[in-house]
Amino acid sequence: MLLSGRSCFRSLLALCRYQMGKSMPYRLAFLITARHSFATSSVTRTAPFVHLLSTSTVSMQSKCNMSEKLTLFDAMGVTGKYKFSIGAPGPADLKKVAAIMERVAAQRMKEEKNTEGASLLQYGAPLGDPRSIRALAKFLAAEYGMPVSESHLAFTSGATAGFLHLLLQMFPNKCTVYAEGLAYHVALQMLRDFNFKIRSVPNEVDGINVDRLEEIWAKDLKEVSTEEQSKKPYQALLYTVPIFHNPTGTILSPAKCERVVKLARKYHVLILSEDVYNMLYYDGSTKPPKRLFAYDSEDDPDYGVGHVVSNCTFSKLLSPGLRLGWQELPVALREKYYDKSSVIVSGGGLNPVIGGCVTLALEDGTVSKFISEIRTSHAKKMEMTIEMLNRLMPSSCKLYHPSNVCITITFIRLSFDYNTKKGGYFLYVILPSKLNAVEFVKYAKEKYGISLQEGFKFQSSTEDFVKELSNGFRISIPYPTFEEMRDGVHYLCEALKECIKE
């Protein structure tokens, strides 16, 4: 069984909870060790390409028992006709990626056969193949609309692998992790499994409540001068999804981005910015909102050692099964935790074969073209879903979205300066207090075959401001087809009307 990165991590974790009698930290250590062991095997590195290039793949799949759990979602028991709970690309998009990978894999393996060392199949360079780094930097600069330095880039096996790679090396003695009241639920669970303390900061429609964050840090942490930073470890970690937030879809405004970076420097806090949806913007712009990493400029006099890591993945842009991502991080962190990391030295660069193949698609513009196509298709589904929800939902239900500000939640400060942009994967619906979100999600699933993610799963704490916002559910738009999205949203609104008599 070949497993690595975010998808396998969740799948193995779910299995091990039931099948292993050890403590959770032991299970997680087991999973990481297993992933790393697979990653160091030259056989497992080439296996995906044997599968890709095999002429018998289609016939073999057609004969396989359909009850087998072929994906993470099968293993997790996700069922129903309208799968609005899945935060992943849909089958139609993945088939297009299969065609891309079939072409570039054959081309890259041919190149390797004709080179003296077949270096792509050797233990990889710690940061990633230099050719791949160059292609990635050029791709990012074009997509972000601003320069991206190769000296800040390192390849990973996906966002989860990158997250854990830094977390476990940088904070072996744990630290407090600050997160929004509602935040990416699996990241929160991983932090809990590793016994990190999580402290909640309220969500707002333009991102994290920075005023409250400053109050908390002033109480919890000590100020660290720029001169002292190179001698001291980071005091804490801020985990955030600033652009097209999971689960609410919001964007951290430019003013807040600047303040958060200033505060991180003042209190010597590392910000782990999960930038997995940034390129999926649907408002007609030519570039996405400026990423948080770009606000932490080396030219600033108080830059210190750097305080933002941009954690990224191709899972949302191409395919989760590729298990390929990257980090953009300060030079000092890149050198210590990648170039000179014993973890990397032992196993070599992360996922170099897939990275080498994707490099060809980056170089010839295929990846950019594909992302442009999915932006268009996602935008149509997002616009349609927002319009239908606003038109058909009971008035007591509120769509917590940048262009549809919820005005009934007392803990949310309203802001309209930046959040008219749409993008990402998710919409979040807040229910009236008289309707329990967990009960409603169960009802919608049983009667209409609609799968949703309940809001309580995203709670970073049980504080009142978190509880109130968590009485809702998340809708994910990429996986269903346009027709499934349209029909499913119609039935979703019918279910809401049946449960809320107005």
What does the domain layout of the chain look like in residue ranges?
120-366, 367-499
> Can the peptide bond before residue 247 be classed as cis, meaning omega within 30 degrees of 0?
yes
Strands 153-156, 203-204: parallel, antiparallel or unpaired by DSSP?
unpaired
Q: Which residues of 234-258 are buried (b: 16+ CB within 10 A; e: fewer)?
A: bbbbbbbbbbbbbbbbbbbbeebbe
Asked whether 466 and 412 are in contact (CB, 8 A), the reply is no
Give the C-alpha separation, 153 to 134, whole Å. 9
pLDDT at 30: 39
User: 């002033």: which residue's tokens?
Assistant: 218
The first and second tokens of residue 322, run together, are 């590729």
Q: Given this model, what pLDDT does residue 285 score?
A: 80
SS3 243: strand
3-state DSSP of 171-215:
CCCCCEEEEECECCHHHHHHHHHCCCEEEEECEECCEECHHHHHH
Q: What is the pLDDT of residue 5?
A: 47
Tens-of-pLDDT digits for all 502 residues of the chain?
444 444 444 444 444 443 444 444 434 443 444 444 434 343 434 444 334 334 444 444 444 455 688 999 999 999 999 999 999 999 999 999 999 999 999 999 999 999 988 999 999 999 999 999 999 999 999 999 999 999 999 999 999 999 999 999 999 999 999 999 999 999 999 999 999 999 999 999 999 999 999 999 999 999 999 999 988 999 999 999 999 999 999 999 999 999 999 999 999 999 999 999 999 999 888 899 999 999 999 999 999 999 999 999 999 999 999 999 999 999 999 999 999 999 999 999 999 999 999 999 999 999 999 999 999 999 999 999 999 999 999 999 999 865 444 433 333 333 333 344 689 999 999 999 999 999 999 999 999 999 999 999 999 999 988 998 999 999 999 999 999 999 999 999 999 999 998 6
Q: CA geometry: angle at 422 spanning 416 and 425, to 5°?
A: 130
CA dihedral over 274, 280, 282, 284, signed as positive or negative = positive
Q: What H or E segment, with its residue span, contains residue 430?
A: strand 426-430
pLDDT of residue 417: 37
Model pLDDT, residue 286: 83
Does the fold of domain 367-499 match that of domain 120-366? Answer: no
* Three-state secondary structure string covering 388-411: HHHHHCCCCCEEEECCECCCCCCC
Separation CA 165–CA 159 (nearest Å): 10
CA angle 116/322/252 to nearest 5° reads: 125
Helix, strand counts (H, E) of the chain: 18, 15
Q: Quick one: DSSP state of residue 415?
A: -
Both structure tokens of 239: 């985990």
Give residue 66's pLDDT.
Answer: 53
How far apart CA 249 and CA 251 sit, in angstroms, is 7
pLDDT at residue 425, rounded to an integer: 98
pLDDT at 401: 63
DSSP of 75-115: HTT--SSEETT--S--HHHHHHHHHHHHHHHHHHHHHHHTS
The two structure tokens encoding residue 90: 């849909």
pTM here is 0.85
Instruction: Provide the CB-side half-sphere exposure for 254 (13 A, CA).
Output: 6
Place of tokens 């999960």: 274
> CA angle, corner 22, sides to 8 and 7, nearest 5?
10
Q: CATH classification of 120-366, choosing from 1.20.1250.30, 3.40.640.10, 3.40.190.10, 3.40.50.10490?
A: 3.40.640.10
- CATH architecture of the domain formed by 367-499: Alpha-Beta Complex (3.90)
The secondary structure element, H or E, covering residue 454 is strand 453-454
Contact 312, 348 (CB under 8 A): no
DSSP SS3 for 235: coil
